Amino acid sequence: MRVPLTIGDFLARAAGVYGDREALVDEPGVPGSLGRITYTQLHRRARGMACELERRGVAPGDRVAIVSPNSGRFLVSFFGVSGWGRVLVPVNYRLTADEIRYVVEHSGASVLLVDPEYDEALRGVDAKVRIVLDGERDAALFAETDETPSRWAGDEDATASINYTSGTTARPKGVQLTHRNCWLNAAMLGWHLGVGDRDVYLHTLPMFHANGWGMPYAITGMGGRHVVQRKVDGEEILRRIAAEGVTVLAGAPAVVAAALDAAARRRAEGAEVPGRGTVRMVVGGAAPPTALIERVGTDLGWEFVQAYGLTESAPLLLVNRAPWEWDGLPADERARRLSRAGVPALGVQFRVAEDGGLAARANHVFAGYWNQPEETAEAIRDGWFHTGDSGYRDGPYTVISDRQKDVIITGGENVSSLEVEDVLYRHPAVAEVAVIGVPDAKWGETVKALVVTKPGTDVDERELVDFCRAAMAHFKCPRSIEFRDALARTATGKLQKFKLREPYWAGRDRRVG
């Protein structure tokens, strides 16, 4: 017997088993907040969304783009769109209007859902149907209903979402994740984290980021409770943990740093730091410093879990969760072991090539890049997905040591160094530029530009940073600029960025954040 694995399974189970249980605690005091609703209500809203899309002529396979921070409406959309065969396109709301327009147009989205905070800034971004998620203009889209949408065949190999990643070129690539990809990623992630019906998940990780790593599906399928946090704030994280009994959260190292800073302020004031012995924190996007990992255990009393993957792998490939054999280790040694990317998740085949390149095979590796067959063929070769990262083995564990692609991961966000270079080259004073990632305790790594100016020109760091900020999303812009007389090149004139990065990463066992 073969039953298709589809996104709708997760919410259907939760509504059937835990219908009267509180499913969602939405961000309070913002337009469109759903407040506190049960799994039955969440399911009815997802059905209502599917029915309204059908009434508007949006057929299975059609794309629905959403530009929004974390919200209850975003959570509904995972199931109201993909659950009935349409394709969700989660868009990074931090991008510029031009970048978002490209994603909407490239994906061919016929529907665009926009958070009211970004409505004005995105006035020039449109689709056949454009709806603002303010609780009024989208009322019909999120109305509860017992109506049954038209039956969808339920093809597990159909595309569930197209998630755009910066990649290595100036234009982002659309990663096609199938229902099978998303389903099995959620199952494996939930299994490795021990997700159960008593868990309360705090959405500190952006929902647009690889579908929130699959946690919206995993938590829903097991009947856990979702607590939505719209923006990362350390004190608010601690407050929600105390108020809602949060047991799981996820994010980049910057989220950990924010919680640690807030905890330090609380201790200075004699206040309690919640979650000791009950919270597990999943960190990915960049490898945090060992000292930061140690402080999660000592200062917060939370369990630290590291995950490694890419949007193309939905994203879980490696996981590092301390086994019982490490229980008696000193805190610093335990942290050192947890700093490694991890061991393959169940069902993942992972290899390190002779040149250090990392490649994987798994049921949740993507189907391909949307309308980009050449890029797909480059990423998936000989039946293996090539990650673009380099590393080495430490027993069964893999350590990520360098990045083969020119991608910088800062605060969990991918930044194409080529894209930043392209902007800087437009400045009349710039003759040569190389953009690299340099280590940073809070963000994992930050964007740094090495610049050679044209003779007779006069420009300073502030001017170039402002020039970038006017042209692209702020998280992509250089945090620092260093002026050079020349940039070392090979005999063929090629920049070797690993050599340019070397002085900044010297003394470290890896060359990426």
Residue 367: which CATH number?
2.30.38.10
Burial string for 69-104 (b: 16+ CB within 10 Å, else e) reads bbbbbbbbbbbbbbbbbbbbbbbbbbbbeebbbbbb
Q: How do beta strands 200-203 and 248-251 pair?
A: parallel
Q: How far is it, in rounded angstroms, from Cα 262 to Cα 223? A: 30
- Say whether both 207 and 284 belong to one domain: yes
Is the predicted pLDDT of residue 490 greater than 60, yes or no?
no
Q: How do beta strands 303-309 and 316-321 pair?
A: antiparallel
Is the predicted pLDDT of residue 345 greater than 70, yes or no?
yes
* Domain contains 37: yes
- Say whether both 259 and 392 belong to one domain: no
* 112, two tokens: 């665009």
Q: How far is it, in rounded angstroms, from Cα 486 to Cα 432? A: 8
* Domain contains 510: no
- Say whether both 237 and 363 belong to one domain: no
Q: What is the number of residues in the chain?
A: 513
The β-bridge partners of 282 are 250, 305
Minimum mean pLDDT among 72-81, 302-311, 425-434, 471-480: which range? 425-434
Q: How far is it, in rounded angstroms, from Cα 172 to Cα 176? A: 13
Higher pLDDT, 272 or 488: 272
- Say whether both 359 and 438 belong to one domain: no
- Say whether both 356 and 211 belong to one domain: no
Its domain, for residue 25, covers 8-344
Domain-terminating residue out of 365, 388, 403:
403
- Say whether both 205 and 71 belong to one domain: yes
Domain count, the chain: 3
Contact between 317 and 308 under an 8 Å Cβ cutoff? The reply is: yes
- Say whether both 370 and 459 belong to one domain: no
Stretch 218-229: mean pLDDT: 98
Contact between 42 and 87 under an 8 Å Cβ cutoff? The reply is: no
* 403, two tokens: 């990045």
Is the predicted pLDDT of residue 169 greater than 70, yes or no?
no
Residue 494 pLDDT: 53
Using the 8-state DSSP alphabet, how is residue 345 labeled?
A: P
Rounded percentage of the chain residues whose pLDDT exceeds 90: 76
- Say whether both 302 and 423 belong to one domain: no
Place of tokens 């159960």: 196
- Say whether both 244 and 165 belong to one domain: yes
Contact between 137 and 34 under an 8 Å Cβ cutoff? The reply is: no
End-to-end Cα distance, the chain: 45
Q: How far is it, in rounded angstroms, from Cα 414 to Cα 175? A: 14
Select from 48, 40, 37, 32 the least CA-distant residue to 15.
40
- Say whether both 333 and 471 belong to one domain: no
Looking from the CA of 22 toward its CB, the CA atoms found within 13 Å total 14
* Domain contains 275: yes
- 3-state secondary structure (DSSP) of residue 37: strand
Q: How far is it, in rounded angstroms, from Cα 449 to Cα 447? A: 7
Residue 257 pLDDT: 85
Q: How distant is the alpha carbon of residue 334 from its chain centre?
A: 26
Query: Of 93-97, 185-189, 251-255, which has the strongest mean pLDDT?
Result: 185-189
* 322, two tokens: 């301390």
